């Protein structure tokens, strides 16, 4: 047993590993499944993209507010803001998958340099959204375990990456929204 891990961290270790692998795999699998292909007569949930993009934007605001709160010594407020940010990320994920299970993917219509910018932002957003899952979970569990020294150390990495994912989610939406059918 690793002496750096206490019982709370050990309790959640297996779940962190399972969720860090399962979430991206399930999202990738469900992203490729269209309910209409299975005989479901479902209207595309075209109203969802602006909602889940807004949730991404709200998550970014929550993350910034949480950092401000902890810097002011407001630990309880910080914790509540972070729990809300995690909840928003879960809500985003559910809506994102629901949209893609009911609607065809939208192709980006921009040309030239803007298409390179879009695909760079999209690629980094996707890669970091996968990387951020275990980082958020480990950072959260370290706070639960009251290992605030380790929590703070990891949060310094987790925060900017999660903030980048939240902000680029909004940017990706804004860039592709003119091409929605």
2 located within any domain = no
Domain count, the chain: 1
Cβ neighbour number for residue 46 with a 10 Å cutoff = 13
Task: Indicate whether 145 belongs to any domain.
Answer: yes
pLDDT single digits (tens) 5-44: 678 788 899 999 999 999 999 988 887 888 888 888 888 8
Which pLDDT band, with edges at 50, 70 and 90, does 1 fall under?
very low
pLDDT beyond 60 at 87: yes
Judge residue 5's burial from the number of C-beta atoms within 10 Å of its C-beta, 0-12 exposed, 13-18 middle, 19 or more buried. Answer: middle
Q: What's the rounded Cα separation, in Å, for the pair 35 and 56?
A: 25
Residue 161 lies in a domain: yes
Residue range 138-153: mean pLDDT, rounded: 94
The reply to whether 125 falls in a domain is yes
Q: What's the CA angle centered on 150, arms 145 and 154, to 5 degrees? A: 115
| pLDDT at residue 5, rounded to an integer | 61
* pTM, 2 dp: 0.90
* Higher-pLDDT residue of 42, 61: 61
Domain of residue 46, CATH code: 1.20.120.80
Q: Which two tokens stand for residue 144?
A: 């639960």
1 in a domain, yes or no? no
Please write the tens of the pLDDT for every residue from 103-141. 888 899 999 999 999 999 999 999 999 999 999 999 999
Determine the structural domain holding residue 149 and report its residue range.
7-179
Tell whether 47 is covered by a domain: yes
């Amino acid at each position: 047993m690793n002496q750096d891990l206490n019982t709370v961290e050990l309790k959640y270790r297996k779940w962190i590993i399972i969720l860090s692998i399962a979430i991206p795999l399930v999202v990738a699998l469900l992203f490729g499944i269209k309910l209409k292909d299975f005989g479901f007569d479902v209207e595309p949930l075209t109203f969802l993209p602006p909602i889940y993009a807004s949730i991404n934007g709200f998550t970014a605001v929550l993350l910034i507010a949480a950092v401000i709160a902890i810097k002011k010594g407001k630990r309880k407020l910080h914790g509540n803001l972070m729990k809300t940010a995690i909840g928003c990320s879960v809500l985003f994920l559910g809506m994102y998958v629901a949209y893609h299970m009911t609607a065809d993917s939208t192709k980006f219509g921009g040309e030239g340099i803007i298409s390179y910018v879009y695909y760079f932002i999209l690629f980094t957003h996707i890669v970091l959204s996968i990387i951020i899952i275990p980082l958020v979970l480990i950072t959260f569990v370290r706070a639960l375990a009251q290992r605030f020294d380790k929590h703070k150390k990891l949060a310094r990495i987790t925060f900017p990456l999660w903030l980048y994912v939240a902000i680029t989610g909004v940017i990706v939406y804004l860039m592709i929204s003119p091409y929605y059918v």
